[in-house]
């Protein structure tokens, strides 16, 4: 394994392997892996998906992953920490909004294996950008940090665009649930838009049918899904930002800090203080391969 350059707030690794070697799992924000050469199968939490040259996967934090290599493979890992989103500017968007976009990627990606790029043009763009990142790190090192940050930001822009077009329930072909889940996650901090009556009106369904349809497709009630979606964002903010509890409660439309704390303890099984002390996700927790 070769670490080309370790930057704060990101790390770039380039690996060529004939047989998979277990990588250390860190509580990073998330990382991307691009397959530059080779063929085989990716596994995340017992789910398998074939990979080939050009495949791009998202590896969320604390998620078990491995690759069964059928043909010698060249991997490039781009690892992002929360610091990246606190120090990297984005045109027309302040750091807080950029962090929210990054948290959207992390909390709403379906976390099943699979190539996350659905546009071949976007795939070509990412391949070109990664090549530029590698050339800069090899030839100029820390002198190119600003340019590399810009290239990494462009990669994330493309990633975000593709994830927002991806089904949240990957094994379901019903476009209605895809659109419904996308809408909920896009408006997770706007409770007035997520009431069953308003959702039913928006999607031209009866409230009763929408509730039953949602439970059948997602295997949990609508209200529980919304609460857990919020709490995933709470976890990310608690571990990767300096948001106060009051700010988190206000942003995600909890009544107050007490309501946030009680809800968190009910679903996470521990208090917010215990969670921060432990420093590991509960709702975004790793399973073992």
Domain positions in the chain are 2-163, 175-278
> Whats the size of the chain, residue-wise?
289
Per-residue pLDDT at 250 exceeds 90: yes
Share the mean pLDDT of the chain: 81
Tell me the mean pLDDT in the region 79-97. Answer: 65
Write out the H or E segment, with its range, that includes residue 65. strand 65-80
pTM value? 0.69
- Find out whether 85 and 149 touch, Cβ atoms under 8 Å: no
pLDDT at 74: 94
pLDDT at 140: 67
CATH hierarchy code of domain 2-163: 2.60.120.280
pLDDT at 261: 96
pLDDT at 86: 65
> How does residue 179 score in pLDDT terms, banded at 50, 70 and 90?
confident
How far is 15 from 276, CA to CA, in rounded Å?
A: 33
- 180 vs 48: which has the higher pLDDT: 180
**Strands 30-44 vs 2-6: parallel, antiparallel or unpaired:** unpaired
Tell me the mean pLDDT in the region 272-288. Answer: 78
Q: Which fold would CATH assign to domain 175-278?
A: Arc Repressor Mutant, subunit A (1.10.10)
Distances (CA, A) of 253 to 25, 37, 177, 186, 231: 33, 46, 24, 14, 11
| Per-residue pLDDT tens digits for 194-206 | 999 999 999 999 9
| Helices assigned H by DSSP within 109-195 | 120-139, 145-163, 175-186
| Per-residue pLDDT tens digits for 106-142 | 666 655 557 888 889 999 999 999 999 888 888 766 6
């Amino acid at each position: 394994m070769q670490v080309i350059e370790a930057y704060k707030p990101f790390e770039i690794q380039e690996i060529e392997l004939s047989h998979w070697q277990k990588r250390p799992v860190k509580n990073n924000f998330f990382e991307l892996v691009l397959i530059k050469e080779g063929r085989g199968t990716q596994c995340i939490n017992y789910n398998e998906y074939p990979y080939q040259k050009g495949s791009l996967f998202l590896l969320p934090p604390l998620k078990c992953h491995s690759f069964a290599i059928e043909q010698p493979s060249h991997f490039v890992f781009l690892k992002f920490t929360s610091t990246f989103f606190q120090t990297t500017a984005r045109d027309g968007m302040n750091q807080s909004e950029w962090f929210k976009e990054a948290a959207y990627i992390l909390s709403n990606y379906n976390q099943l294996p699979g190539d996350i790029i659905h546009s071949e043009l976007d795939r070509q763009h990412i391949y070109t950008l990664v090549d530029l990142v590698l050339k800069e790190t090899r030839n100029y090192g820390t002198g190119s940090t600003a340019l590399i940050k810009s290239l990494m930001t462009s990669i994330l822009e493309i990633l975000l665009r593709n994830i927002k077009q991806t089904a949240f329930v990957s094994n379901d072909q019903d476009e209605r649930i895809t659109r419904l889940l996308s809408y909920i996650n896009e408006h997770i901090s706007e409770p007035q838009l997520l009431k069953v009556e308003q959702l039913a009106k928006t999607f031209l369904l009866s409230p009763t049918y929408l509730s039953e349809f949602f439970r059948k497709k997602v295997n949990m009630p609508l209200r529980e899904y919304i609460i857990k979606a919020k709490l995933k964002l709470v976890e990310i903010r608690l571990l990767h930002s300096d948001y106060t509890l009051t700010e988190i409660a206000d942003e995600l439309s909890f009544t107050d800090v007490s309501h946030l704390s009680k809800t968190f303890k009910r679903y996470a099984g521990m208090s917010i203080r215990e969670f921060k002390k432990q420093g590991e996700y509960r709702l975004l927790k790793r399973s073992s391969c």
